[in-house]
Amino acid sequence: MKNTKSDEVVSCSVDLTKSEVSSSIGEDISIKESSQHQADSHIKSKDTSAEATAKNNKHSGFEGFGFSDALLRTLTLKGYKDPSPIQKAAFPELMLGRDLVGQAQTGTGKTAAFALPLLERLKKNSKLPQVLVLAPTRELAMQVADSFRAYGAGQPNLKFLAVYGGADFRSQINALKRGVDVVVGTPGRVMDHMRQGTLNTSELKTLVLDEADEMLRMGFIDDVEWVLGQLPEKRQMVLFSATMPAEIRRLSKRYLSEPAEITIKAKAQESHLIRQRYITLQNSHKLEALRRVLETVTGEGVIIFARTKAITLTIAEALETSGHEVAVLNGDVPQNQRERTIERLRNGGINVLVATDVAARGLDVDRIGLVVNYDMPFDSEAYIHRIGRTGRAGRSGEAILFVNNRERRFVGSLERAAGQQIEQMEIPNNALINQSRLHRLRQKLIKAAQTGRDHEQETLLLKELLKTVGEELNLNSEQLAIAAINLAVGPTPLLAQGNEDWLKQQHSHRNRRDDRRDERISNRRRGDREPISPEEHMERFRVEVGHRDRVKPGNLVGAIANETGLQGRMIGRIQIYDSFSLLDLPKGMPEKIFKELKKLKVMNKELQIHRAT
């Protein structure tokens, strides 16, 4: 349904700070296991008189958008006071029925930005779906459906359903037959229901594409277009995406009618909640390096991302042998088991989750303190989504990336995507591990000394036991304390004493490599040096970025390789000067690629590439 508002496109760009989000509806809402009846009962148990409602909503920032008293009460009961910037911009447009394109990162409150106005515009007593939300993963589909349920808790007649692969198809059919107002699903399962005739979209008023760029990355765009082709011609369409690649732009121009456009730019300081580091190492040393990282970087919960299912199993087995409580999450794990695994991670039943990228979206667990990229992610977007599993709800977090020598050149492109430097890190040595172990033991002793036992009688019995043992063996209090600590530590050696020669060799090799690099950089920075001529099969180009732009060879190699598809080793010599750089590329480069490179940005500045004279 289109609105009668002016056809002029509304474009809004907002810088978002963390403080603006803290009191607003967050991107991810964790819904504990409870029935709709319990949620309704909770709301009804509150004072819902007109006076109480007016009092509760007196200072609510959600007034003035046309939301009902029931929805305002729900938001007040959940403690939400002010909408986030994307919500303020999206609410008026969606309440009027306009199409909308929103560019926003995870954590800006975009789920509520479309869910709240769409809830208000639902027709009552309609058994056919009125809103369809497409999401790239099962986790995100479940999360968005839970958000709708939470916001619609004050309207018990509304029904919401998540449909996704891996869940029972028949139960989804039965739910659709009983009547559903909002369906949230993955493209494949939505297509299955439409082909079977079990999802009737004849009364559909709104379609939402959530995380459109991720659907493109996962190869779902053809499926999305198929779904769009089956929907009523007159319907509102909402598209949200963290980035706007050309294919998503094309999709929006083809299927959206004069949409409002909103862009939310998260300020760089938000990503600074996550300390990002990388370790350069040989692939054969990854498992041992991972054990050492987990010993020294003490995150309350840890997610380790690996490239394949087989690698997740290898990592999990190795960590279990080392005494870690580990679970695996990959495409072979059944959906019901996946849900139980995430819940165990959330409540502390396990501390380490080893996963493929299937867990990079829609996994909202506040207690994740560390993300380890065991394998280099396929692209910058995957890296951003992976590390976004930590540093949630305003907390700090850590992200560590394992790279081999060939992959190291791509760290620069990840830094640009994250808007933050990724620090180099050494593999923790024995001394650091021992320091960490002693610190943890000290913390446990302090906690035990301050907490004591719940039952006084047990404390008296322990004191009597210590006295008896001390008298029998003629031990003083210090000797008894050491014996008790030995009992707590167990037979495993407290201090790591393994061979570190491989660490020293790696460190020495890296230092020699860095010395050679520093020498090259020093030579490049000599103002009187002459450019070295290109090799016979190479052609020289000039780009308008240099030392003053803080550009490094890795930045140029990563950007050009990503844009052109050239392998990094095919890019020749790079000479960086103060205001420009010279780089050698293979002769005969197609004109099309050359034009694309002209628009390419490195360190937020266009290359303006042209052939050097």
| Residue 336 counted as domain residue | yes
Q: How confident is the model at residue 299 (pLDDT cuts 50, 70, 90)?
A: low
| Residue 448 counted as domain residue | yes
C-alpha 603, offset from chain centre: 23
| 464 token code pair | 């009597």
| CATH number of domain containing 566 | 3.30.70.330
At residue 409, the pLDDT reads 76
Q: Is the pLDDT of residue 577 over 60?
A: yes
278 in the same domain as 258: no
Whether pTM exceeds 0.85:
no
Length in residues, the chain: 613
351 in the same domain as 260: no
At residue 25, the pLDDT reads 43
15 versus 548: the higher-pLDDT residue is 548
Q: Kindly state the average pLDDT of the residues 134-148.
A: 87
| Residue 513 counted as domain residue | no
Tens digit of each residue's pLDDT (9 = 90 or more) over 560-572 = 776 666 666 678 8
310 in the same domain as 379: yes
At residue 607, the pLDDT reads 82
Q: Is the pLDDT of residue 90 over 70?
A: yes
Q: How confident is the model at residue 125 (pLDDT cuts 50, 70, 90)?
A: confident
171 in the same domain as 200: yes
Q: How many CB atoms lie within 10 A of CB 234?
A: 10
At residue 505, the pLDDT reads 67
Number of domains comprising the chain: 4
Residue-wise burial string across 423-446, b where 16 or more C-beta atoms lie within 10 A, e elsewhere: eebbbbbbeebbebbeeeeeeeee
Residue 536 burial (10 A CB sphere; 0-12, 13-18, 19+)? exposed
242 in the same domain as 153: yes
| Residue 522 counted as domain residue | no
At residue 52, the pLDDT reads 43
Q: Is the pLDDT of residue 136 over 80?
A: yes
At residue 401, the pLDDT reads 96
Tens digit of each residue's pLDDT (9 = 90 or more) over 236-253 = 999 998 888 888 989 999
Q: Show which of 266, 284, 307 is a domain's final residue.
A: 266
Q: Is the pLDDT of residue 392 over 60?
A: yes
Which range, of 164-178, 500-514, 535-549, averages the lowest pLDDT?
Answer: 500-514
| Residue 70 counted as domain residue | no
Which range, of 93-107, 197-211, 409-423, averages the lowest pLDDT?
Answer: 409-423
Tens digit of each residue's pLDDT (9 = 90 or more) over 409-431 = 778 878 877 778 899 999 998 88
Residue 227 and residue 235: Cα distance in Å, rounded?
13
496 versus 64: the higher-pLDDT residue is 64
194 in the same domain as 94: yes
Q: Kindly state the average pLDDT of the residues 385-413.
A: 83
Percent of the chain with pLDDT over 90: 30
At residue 53, the pLDDT reads 41
442 in the same domain as 319: no
Which range, of 121-130, 158-167, 218-227, 512-521, averages the lowest pLDDT?
Answer: 512-521
Q: What single-letter DSSP state applies at residue 439?
A: H
Q: Show which of 266, 298, 327 is a domain's final residue.
A: 266
Q: How many CB atoms lie within 10 A of CB 152?
A: 25
Where do we find the tokens 């869940």?
167
257 in the same domain as 216: yes
At residue 117, the pLDDT reads 95
208 in the same domain as 105: yes
Tens digit of each residue's pLDDT (9 = 90 or more) over 429-476 = 888 888 888 888 888 888 888 887 788 888 889 889 999 998 899 989
120 in the same domain as 213: yes
Q: Is the pLDDT of residue 197 over 50?
A: yes
Q: Is the pLDDT of residue 6 over 50?
A: no
At residue 266, the pLDDT reads 54
586 in the same domain as 462: no
109 versus 506: the higher-pLDDT residue is 109
Q: Are strands 601-602 and 605-606 parallel, antiparallel or unpaired?
A: antiparallel
Beta-carbon contacts of 388 under 8 Å, excluding residues fewer than 6 positions away, are 106, 107, 360
Looking at mean pLDDT, say which of 37-41, 227-231, 385-389 comes out highest: 227-231
| CATH number of domain containing 278 | 3.40.50.300
| Residue 414 counted as domain residue | yes
> Mean pLDDT score of the chain, rounded to an integer?
79
| Residue 72 counted as domain residue | no
DSSP string for 202-254: TT--EEEE-SHHHHHHTT-HHHHHHHHHHS-SS-EEEEEESS--HHHHHHHHH
Domain containing residue 388 = 269-429
Interhelix angle 553-564/591-599, nearest 10 degrees: 130
179 in the same domain as 104: yes
Q: Is the pLDDT of residue 582 over 60?
A: yes
| Residue 149 counted as domain residue | yes
420 versus 290: the higher-pLDDT residue is 290
Phi, psi of 507 (to 5 degrees): -60, -45
Which range, of 383-397, 405-419, 484-498, 559-573, averages the lowest pLDDT?
Answer: 559-573
